[in-house]
Each structure stands twice: as C-alpha cells, then as structure tokens.
Amino acid sequence: MNANLFARFDAVFGEHLTKPCLRLANGDTWTYGDLQRETACLAAALRSEGVGHGDRVVVRVPKTPEALALYLATLQVGGVYVPLNTDYTDSEVAYFLDDASPSLFITGNDTDVGVATFTLDEHGGGSLKQLASSLDPDSQVATRGDGDLAAILYTSGTTGRSKGAMLTHANLTSNADTLIAYWGWRSDDVLLHALPIYHVHGLFVASHCVLLTGSSMIFLPRFDVEALIEHLPSCSVLMGVPTFYTRLLGSALFTPEVTTDVRLFVSGSAPLTEQTFNAFEHRTGHRILERYGMSETGMNTSNPLDGERIAGTVGYPLPGVEVRITNDAGATLPAGDIGGIEVRGPNVFSGYWRMPEKTREEFRDDGYFKTGDMGRVDAGGRCTIVGREKDLVISGGLNVYPKEVELLIDTVAGVIDSAVIGVPHPDFGEAVIAVVASEVDIELDDVIAVLTGKLARFKQPKGLLRVDELPRNAMGKVQKNVLREICTDRFSWDEQGDSGVV
C-alpha cells in the first residue's frame, strides 16, 4: 500500500470534486476539484524541475490556496515540504537553505540565494505557476513508505540553532486520523482557518482534519479579530492560539450570538490562562478545548470532546500516544510529581535533520522523546504543563516553576497577563522577575501582598517589570528570551542584596 499521505487526500478529493473546500475572504470558493487540479499543475512543475523522492522544497510564501496546493503537490511527487515563517528575512533564510539543501526554494520575492528559486504568483523571474501553465497537469502519486519523510519543520530556535524536525508520512497520517476521531470531526464541519500554514498547528492539525474528511474551511490570509467575528457565524470549529481568544474577548462585537453554530473551540501552541478560559465560558457558554503538541510530535494530549475540560490542563494522552514524567536521571515519577514530559507514539518524529547527536540526546533508549516541557500527570492521567525546561528558574538551588507563580500573579487586581523569568543574581544564582502586563501601575509590593502566604518566599519575585503587552510570537508564545535579555542586568554582580525593583 502507498503510505504517501497525499494518496489519502487524493481519494477524498476525488469523492468531493464539486464540494467547497476553501472559502476565501474575497468570497471566492475553491472546490475539492479546484484544489486537486491546482495541485496536479504544481506537481507537474515540481517534477519538471526534478523534484522527486526525498528532495526538499523550501517554501516561504504568504498563505493562499496556491500555497496549500504547493504543500500537497510536494507530497504528491514524493518531496519533503519545508515551510518557513514568512517573516524570516533573506539573511535568516540563508541558514535554512544551507541546512536543508533543497532542490527548490519557493519564495514571495525574487532573490538570489544560490538555490533554484521560484515565486508562486504570476510574476517574478521564475514563476512556478507560469511554468505549470506550460505543462500538462500531473496526477501521478509517488509511492512512499511509512518511514519516508513528508516534511521538515524548523523549530523556533529561541536558543541555539533552529533544528529541523523530520516528520514522516506515518507521523502525519496517524496524528490526523487520531484527531479526526478524538474531536468527532464531521464532513459537514466548517473550520475557521486563520492560523499561518508554515507551522504544525495551521498546516497539519487544522488543514488535515478538513482535507481528510471532505469538510470545508474559511481560509483567511491571517488572524484579524473583525474577520473572525464576521465569519464565525458560518463555522462549526475554530482552531486558535490563546491570543485569538483574548483578542475576541477584547471586542465588544464578540457576542454569544456570534458563536451559536460553533460546536468546538480549540486552543493550543501556548498556554491558555484560566482567566481566558473562564471569561470565554462566561461570555459565550463554550468551554475551550485545550490541547498540547509541538513541531516534533504533532499533537500529544487533548482535553476531551465530551468529558470535563479543565482550565490550565492539557487533557489526556491521545489514543496511541504514551506520556510519562521523568526526573533528570530518567526515572519515571509518580502521579502528581513535576518533571520532564516524555512522549512516545506513532506521532513522534524520526529525529533532527542532519543532527544525529542532538537526536540521540533527545531520545531515550526505549523510544521516548524528551519534549523539553515540564509538567505533571495526575492519577487519572490528566496532564498539566508548568513550562519549558529552559524557562525553569533555579533560585538559591531551588526550582521555581514559572507557571505556578504566573497563575497567582494573574489574580492580582489590574494584571492582564504575566510572565515569570529568571535572571542572574549574585546571591541566588538566579532570581525570579515578574513581568506584568497591566493598564494600571503595579508595584512589586502589590504582587508580594497577594503571593505572601500562598507561595514560599524563594518563589516570590525579587523584581518587577511592568509592560503594556507581553512580547509574543505569531503562535502566541511569550518570548521569554526577549524578556530575559531586557532584564538580565537587573541584579548586577557588585550590587549585593535582593532589592532591585525593576
């Protein structure tokens, strides 16, 4: 049997040729037949450029239906899709081109990068679409095995070099099938798709659920709160990052009526705060379903579709996925203890591209992958994330899990959002700093007053930075590395003591 994921898509497309697949912001509709045709055209162009089994196609283009077709065409010809964040500059892209050594680079603008380069629109020195228009569409689907690569996703790489996570056809297929079943996906579902498609969330989780069930999606070029409110009434599912939900709640136009026909709101890619979960339920009556995943693994855990969705938790391991919590020595910890989250299953990637050492470091001998996240699993199997390992603060030799402190800071009157970081400190090694987003003035003492009696002294912030808004990337993740840089000199080495209000 052909394990090429595109063979699965192709079968669905063939059954739904006249059904709308993509509805665009300008009112245009692409049927499944349209998407299949565009894919076949681009597949012909890729093949004519010699792209075949295992060849990398690096792509940095805006989110359009053609860009989705390009992903599908790459799978169809047996290539390996390598999407890049559209914000990357040419000099940043140079690293990825060097690392991935692709056969082709498809980009939004004409650029000379020493790799065969095409654009995806009608213009530019080499337009892939123009090339395709001179060729017969190609509907042949390359045969691929379970373990063959389908995509490489570069991790965001806030520390060190960005690593390419190698995902196989079996990884993508199994995770998509699992999510479709777990979230009760229906062929009449309409997904509101406002996520970027260079990332696991928008490209795999969201698109695959639609394309494998013959359902449809409203395909917006980017997140825009007004557009979301305009289109939600004709949708049954929204997949978003937490910022989608906080922005929706910030709009007076976001009323319960807007959400009447929505059956499922999914959140992931960054922690959803309890405040947002509760405020959303209060406003709309819907309980957001939070799930947890990453580029290397696709989705690992999810709150249930029918059971209790608990704020601040990421639910249960998905069917077929095993999750365990370990200490530094690799021993599995009992229920409730905090440690490193490790996962194993058909969703877990096959390693980092051209980094065998790094791959060996991150996998246990029994096949578990060390996610780099910290968390706990309760006796019933429900998982909670307390932060990234690299965000753990060790103050005076004691572990401070940022999430625990952030949850309490979020209850301080006037606080909208918070992030806890560690910065170098002469006495303690690291000291806890609270970065607080608020519209009103907040002092360290206001925070300490709330934390006292609830949190051991060593976990309490020794400094505070007030900001209007926390810096977040496109996936809603707080950029703690940016905050650490800003605050790094707060407790300079010649200035003893622990005062230092930032």
Residues that bind ligand AMP (CB under 6 A): 155-156, 200, 268-271, 290, 292-295, 314, 371, 373, 385, 388, 475
Given the structure tokens 């045709």, which residue do they identify? Answer: 37
CB of 401 to ligand AMP, least distance (A): 13
CB of 155 to ligand AMP, least distance (A): 6
CB of 143 to ligand AMP, least distance (A): 29
The DSSP result for 394-433, as a single string, is EETTEEE-HHHHHHHHTTSTTEEEEEEEEEEETTTEEEEE
**Of residues 190 and 206, the one with the C-beta less far from ligand AMP:** 206
**Of residues 351 and 463, the one with the C-beta less far from ligand AMP:** 351
How distant, in Å, are the alpha carbons of 75, 179, 281, 358, 365 from that of 354? 21, 30, 45, 9, 20
**Of residues 71 and 292, the one with the C-beta less far from ligand AMP:** 292
Secondary structure class of 215 (helix, strand, coil)? coil
Where residue 429 falls (left for φ over 0; alpha for ψ -120 to 50; beta otherwise) is left
**Of residues 83 and 463, the one with the C-beta less far from ligand AMP:** 83
**Of residues 339 and 463, the one with the C-beta less far from ligand AMP:** 339
**Of residues 3 and 310, the one with the C-beta less far from ligand AMP:** 310
**What is the three-state SS of 34-49?**
HHHHHHHHHHHHHHHC
**Of residues 279 and 450, the one with the C-beta less far from ligand AMP:** 279
Query: Residue 266's beta-bridge partner residues?
Result: 239, 289
Pairing between β-strand 104-107 and β-strand 56-60 as defined by DSSP bridges: parallel
CB of 290 to ligand AMP, least distance (A): 5
**Of residues 23 and 163, the one with the C-beta less far from ligand AMP:** 163
CB of 240 to ligand AMP, least distance (A): 11
**Of residues 296 and 430, the one with the C-beta less far from ligand AMP:** 296
CB of 3 to ligand AMP, least distance (A): 24
Residue 45 structure tokens: 């162009």
**Of residues 37 and 388, the one with the C-beta less far from ligand AMP:** 388
Given the structure tokens 């309890």, which residue do they identify? Answer: 274
Q: Which of 472, 471, 444 is nearest to 460 (CA)?
A: 444
Query: Residue 153's beta-bridge partner residues?
Result: 165
Give dist(CA 488, CA 366) in Å, integer: 39
Q: Which of 296, 75, 269 is nearest to 171 (CA)?
A: 296
CB of 478 to ligand AMP, least distance (A): 10
**Of residues 216 and 300, the one with the C-beta less far from ligand AMP:** 300
Query: Residue 339's beta-bridge partner residues?
Result: 375
Pairing between β-strand 20-24 and β-strand 216-219 as defined by DSSP bridges: parallel
CB of 275 to ligand AMP, least distance (A): 15
Contacts of 418 (CB under 8 A, 6+ apart): 406, 409, 410, 434, 435, 436, 437, 470
CB of 301 to ligand AMP, least distance (A): 8
Residue 223 structure tokens: 């997140």
Q: Which residues of 356-368 are buried (b: 16+ CB within 10 A; e: fewer)?
A: eeebeebbeeeeb
CB of 404 to ligand AMP, least distance (A): 14
CB of 364 to ligand AMP, least distance (A): 17
Q: Would you report the helix, strand and coil content of the chain in percent, each value rounded to 5?
A: 30, 25, 45
Given the structure tokens 């998407």, which residue do they identify? Answer: 35
Secondary structure class of 282 (helix, strand, coil)? helix
Edge-to-edge, what's the strand order for the sheet holding 322-326? Answer: 322-326, 339-344, 369-377, 383-388
Q: Which H/E stretch holds residue 73?
A: helix 65-76
CB of 298 to ligand AMP, least distance (A): 9
**Of residues 155 and 399, the one with the C-beta less far from ligand AMP:** 155
326, 342 Cβ separation under 8 angstroms? yes
